[in-house]
Structure 1
Amino acid sequence: MFAIVETGGKQYKVREQDIIKIEKLNASVGEEVTLNKVIALTDINNNMIFAQNTTVTASILEQCRNDKIIVFKKKRRKNYRRKNGHRQYMTVLRITKINNME
């Protein structure tokens, strides 16, 4: 059984005991978080059902930063070059339970 969860503007396909990296959540390591925006859910026979009263519970394993992304701008023949780097803050979650209220 898996669920499709939306958080941080992105959608993730998760099962119990999965580990995912999402956009930063304001919570500390070891806390339990509830993801309320469940888009779809499968039942035991792998049939997609609309998840109306479903939540996903996860525990925070780590608060970290993602790999560096290099942004390089250049205009030819004008000696214009700019190089910037960016590291996005990420949260590592372990999915502990998919709660179906129906």
Structure 2
Amino acid sequence: MYAVIKSGGKQHRVSIGETLKVELLKAEVGATLNIEEVLMVVNGSDVKIGQPVVVGASVVAEVVSHGRGKKVRIVKHKRRKHYHKEQGHRQWYTELKINAING
């Protein structure tokens, strides 16, 4: 059984027991979240697709940790013009553990 959820403007395919990193959520470590934006639920051959969300479906997740991802290097360079600029960015994330899929 798996589901497709929407979080932080992205879609994630999740199954029970899985951990995933999503955009930073305002929740304490150890808190339980009930994600209502479920786009699709698949249970064997039974497929429910929402328009845009599946009515009555939810995913229960636990907040494991917060952190920052690897540094992404941004380099701008113009040849023969003595222009070279480097920047870096580390995105904040929340790590979730999926406990249940209710569909």
- TM-score scaled to structure 1, two decimals? 0.92
Q: 1:86 aligns with which of 44, 66, 89?
A: 89
- TM-score scaled to structure 2, two decimals? 0.92
Following the alignment from structure 2 to structure 1, what is the Cα–Cα distance between the partners of residues 38 and 78? 45
Is the aligned partner of 1:35 residue 2:74? no
Q: 1:73 aligns with which of 76, 79, 82?
A: 76
Following the alignment from structure 1 to structure 2, what is the Cα–Cα distance between the partners of residues 28 and 71? 32
Deviations 1:73-98 (A, max 9, x none): 01110110110000000000000111
In structure 1, what is the equivalent of residue 6 of structure 2? 6
Q: Which runs of 5+ in 1 are unaligned?
A: none
Q: Which runs of 5+ in 2 are unaligned?
A: none
What's the % identity of the aligned pairs?
33
Q: How many residues align?
A: 99
Following the alignment from structure 2 to structure 1, what is the Cα–Cα distance between the partners of residues 82 and 37? 48
Following the alignment from structure 1 to structure 2, what is the Cα–Cα distance between the partners of residues 93 and 46? 27
Q: 2:101 aligns with which of 52, 74, 98?
A: 98
Following the alignment from structure 1 to structure 2, what is the Cα–Cα distance between the partners of residues 46 and 17? 21
In structure 2, what is the equivalent of residue 47 of structure 1? 46
RMSD: 0.9
